Each structure stands twice: as structure tokens, then as C-alpha cells.
Amino acid sequence: MLRPLALLLLTLTPASAQDPAWPPAVISVIDQARSDCDGDFSVAPEAVTQRDLNGDTAQDWIVDASGFACSSSYGIYCGTEGCMVDTLIDGIRGSFLLHEWDTVTEGGVTYLTAPNALGGTARFLWTGTQWELQ
């Protein structure tokens, strides 16, 4: 019983916006979300992840607002349309409103994927400056 409670407390512990592993662009996204909160703001560990999104073998950043919480406003970061998901690739920010996401690499090309309204999967390709629906 204590282990799940300790894990829950770690998840709810406010993350430092000055995490040394996060580049300034990631900190900026988090600080922007923090400024929308009038209460205690926290970032779950899974809110900030890295994946190679453009196929250059370098790890890019993904900030998923579903991992943000504000004590004074439930649901401030997510709604019926989904949660804001920001990608940071070579210093360029791309944004989506998604319920869930993943990545897939086929033939050396990496796509960001998300369920679509028809029950299928939408695939997005990074062009170097923006995401394009494929």
C-alpha cells in the first residue's frame, strides 16, 4: 500500500521548470502552462519525453499537456478536443490538440501518429518547418 502512495506523491510533486535536462524551449512551454494556473502546478514525469521525430537520429522533445496539473482548475490543460502536444525539433515548435499520440518509423521515415475521428490513424510528417498530414 505504501509503494502506490509513494508513487502517487512523486507524480504529483511539482517539477522544477529549471530541470537541467530540459532545453530552454521545453522550459518555455512548461512556464507558459504554469502561468495559466492560479494554484499549485505540477508536471508528471511522462509529460516531457524525447523521440527522434524527423529521422535524423537526434532526440527531439515532446511536451504533452496531459501530464500537467493545476490544483485550482481541473481540466485546464485538456478538454473534449484533447490536450496540447508540443513538439520541439531543431528549435522549431509544432503544436497539436490530441487525445493520444505515438510515433512510427517506416522505410526510414518517422511519422507522428494519432487516432482520427473515423477510427483510423492519422499520420503527420515533419517537413523541417511544420507537420503535414499524410
The DSSP symbol for 22 reads S
pLDDT single digits (tens) 53-99: 998 889 999 999 999 999 998 889 999 999 999 999 999 999 999 99
pLDDT band of residue 104 (cuts 50, 70, 90) is: very high
Alpha helices in the chain (DSSP H): 2-12, 24-35
Q: Which is nearest to 32 in space by CA: 90, 82, 86? A: 86
Question: Quick one: pLDDT at residue 9?
Answer: 38
Cβ count within 10 A of residue 4: 8
Instruction: Provide the residue ranges of all domains of the chain, joining segments of one domain with +.
Output: 2-133
The pTM score is 0.82
pLDDT single digits (tens) 18-38: 466 899 999 999 999 999 999
User: CB-based burial of residue 17 (10 Å sphere; 0-12 exposed, 13-18 middle, 19+ buried)?
Assistant: middle
Q: Which is nearest to 99 in space by CA: 77, 82, 111? A: 82
Please say whether the beta carbons of 103 and 131 come within 8 A.
Answer: no
